[in-house]
Amino acid sequence: MKIQRIIVTGRLREVIRQYVDEDLYEYKFMAEEEVNEADLSWADAYVGFAPPAQASLTSVKWVHSLGAGVDAFLFQRPWNKAVLLTRTICSFGERIAQYCLSYILRDLQKHDEFQAQQQQYRWVPATPHLLHTQTVVVFGTGEIGRELAKVLSSFGVTVIGLSRSGAAQIYFDQVYEMGRAEEVIGKADWIISTLPLTRETECIFNRNFFCQLRHAGFINVGRGRTIQDEALVEALATGNVRKAVLDVFAQEPLSKDSLLWNHPNVIITPHISAVTTPEEAVQCFLETLREVETGNVPSNIVDLQKGY
């Protein structure tokens, strides 16, 4: 595929500009809202975190997402199947694994409990729990899910995966098809979602799901619209969910009216569990550009049918 003219958008566009060779390719560095149909008619490729606000991507040859997720491009949007779509793959798995591990350890080691006692000048010994006693069910067994399973299993955690196919994966003790979730989620000490947003996963964590949990912790590092927020709040009230760690939301920034902000058993972080660093974004973009131009199938190509 011959690529000559490239539009780069999003918050990293000026950083990317410092690394690319503008003698080899013609570039336009723009905000998403600035891109119009004339720009896209000029371009062979579009690079960014989200599609342009006022124009369609049907005429370019290649679109590269600067994030791991591509729901901004595909979810409830028409897509020209002739347009190649790739995504950024870098240290996301490592970052998310460490993020999740930190909050599980915080809970098992009773950090909040002991800090509250310190503020009250109370000395009340309690025995922390060990990681090897935990069963964690991970929704999604792709590269992020596998890295998460690798880290958790190294500490003796029992890690069960749920995926579309149910195919066995390295580092997971067992993997089940998504339709068999009810067979395992009731055994979980922790549920962790790494799921993308697709037609199948939208609101998958609903009242029916949460009512099957037994005082489990819940971590979402996938996509916010996979959760019904009202159902989660209800599950926290009933104790089906004892603690929720949420890094992604249907609306970002999270509305100040959300009941999640002040809930004592909810931890909110501002979508930082898998940050795209400028260096990694540039490296992945340039490597993918070389693969596209040489006719190779990029390893980070998106399956349009699956939506990820």
Confidence (pLDDT) at 54: 86
Look over the chain and give the mean of its residue pLDDT values, rounded to a whole number: 96
Q: Coil, strand or helix: which one is 205?
A: strand
Distances in whole angstroms, Cα of residue 166 to Cα of each of 12, 137, 146, 156, 162:
37, 13, 14, 22, 6
Confidence (pLDDT) at 128: 97
Q: What digits encode the pLDDT tens for the residues 102-120? A: 999 999 999 999 999 999 9
Distances in whole angstroms, Cα of residue 24 to Cα of each of 15, 27, 161, 268:
18, 10, 45, 44
The class of domain 5-90+276-294 in CATH terms is alpha beta
Q: Count CB atoms within 10 A of the CB of residue 301.
A: 15
Domain-wise residue ranges, the chain: 5-90+276-294, 93-268
Q: How far apart are CA 99 and CA 91, in angstroms?
A: 12
Decide if pLDDT at 26 tops 90.
yes
Q: What digits encode the pLDDT tens for the residues 145-165? A: 999 999 999 999 999 999 999
* Same CATH fold assignment for domains 5-90+276-294 and 93-268: yes
Q: How far apart are CA 152 and CA 136, in angstroms?
A: 9
Catalytic residues: 223, 271
Structure tokens at 54: 């006022």
Say if pTM beats, i.e. exceeds, 0.85. yes
Percent of the chain with pLDDT over 70: 100
N residues, the chain: 308
Of 260, 257, 187, 258, nearest in space to 220 by CA:
260
- The single residue listed with the structure tokens 């509250």 is 116
Residue type, 220: N
Q: Coil, strand or helix: which one is 65?
A: strand
Q: How far apart are CA 174 and CA 157, in angstroms?
A: 12
The H-or-E segment that residue 6 falls in is: strand 5-8
Decide if pLDDT at 96 tops 90.
yes
Confidence (pLDDT) at 247: 98
Residue-wise DSSP of 230-279: HHHHHHHHHTSEEEEEE---SSSSPPTT-TTTT-TTEEE--S-TT---HH
Q: How many CA atoms lie within 13 A of 260 on its CB side?
A: 26
pLDDT band, residue 53 (cuts 50/70/90): confident
CATH number of 93-268: 3.40.50.720
pLDDT band, residue 9 (cuts 50/70/90): very high
